[in-house]
Structure 1
Amino acid sequence: MAQHVRDVMTTDLVTVEPQASVTSVAEMMRDEGVGAVLVTEGEQLCGLVTNRDLVVRSVAAGHAPGSTTVVDACSDEMITVGAGDDLEHAVGVVSLGDLAMERDPHSALGDISAAGPNT
């Protein structure tokens, strides 16, 4: 039987507005224990920013993290799938960690993904 996206997707999402600074998003990622944040304006999805995006597109590019907005670092061309779609069609927010916890929860990646944030 085919699994659906809803069976493994993360539902406790962290969102930020496009005008948020790179610094505030990095702090949010640290505090929430996540590596990706959805960029939203109201109910509209505008982009996705990962911890790697912050490093490569902002810090490594020489931009000042406190005065650079997340919209300058995020990916804005996304492909989305619905919760009822077959899992084989999923990309993006359904992470490798989500799949590891579902398919092999005792693997190293499953253990890491299930652990809470460092404090």
Structure 2
Amino acid sequence: MKIKQAMTGEVCVATPDETIQKAAQLMLGLDIGMIPVADGDQLVGMITDRDIAVRGVAAGLGVDTLVRDVMTADVKYCFDDDEIEDVLDNLGEIQLRRLPVVNRDKRLVGIVSLSDLARSKAPDKAGIALGEIARPGGEHSQAAF
């Protein structure tokens, strides 16, 4: 089964020149924590609620800060004709729960989440991927002593 059969095709995007406040309001309205950033139909980044909190607010930046100043420009993605099993393996390896989906011209065509894939024909593989995604990354400052 191909990713295009499991992905969400209608994706809300932010532009690099929007403010982080507008991006946060969009996330609030859609009850999501991540938005692809596109310039036209070209994927140029991703912005998460964590990017806004850590790279924006915690760094002392204001609500008028541009998305381009806090977004992640090194975007991981998959192709719409990739096999679901291959994407699940990749999600586990890179420890991500969702990926933007592009076509072979690298135009944004959708987004796929681990939950989309769990509802597909590969729920066992989705569980394995989640186990990889959730693996501990080392000692954290909040760890009990």
1:78 alignment partner AA: V
Structure 2 unpaired stretches of 5+: 92-98, 101-111, 125-145
Bigger RCO (CA 8 Å, 6+ sep):
1
Paired positions, count: 101
Structure 1 outlier segments of 4+, above 3 Å:
100-104
Match among 28, 32, 35 for residue 33 of structure 2: 35
Q: CA deviation at 1:87?
A: 1.5
**Equivalent residue number for residue 77 of structure 1:** 74
- Superposed CA RMSD in Å reads 1.9
| Deviation of 1:30 (Å) | 0.8
Q: Which residue of 2 aligns with 1:5?
A: 3
TM-score by length of 2: 0.61
For structure 1, which runs of at least 5 residues remain unmatched after alignment? 105-119
* TM-score normalised over the length of structure 1: 0.73
Can you list the C-alpha shifts for 1:41-88, whole angstroms capped at 9, x where unaligned?
A: 112111011112111111122211x22111111111123321111123
Greater share of residues in strand: 2
Conservation of the 8 A alpha-carbon contact between 2:37 and 2:43: yes
Which residues of 2 match residues 1-119 of structure 1 at below 5 A?
Answer: 3-64=1-62, 66-90=63-87, 91=91, 92-93=99-100, 94-102=112-120, 103=123
Q: In 2, distance between residues paired with 1:83 and 1:48?
A: 18
Sequence identity (%)? 32
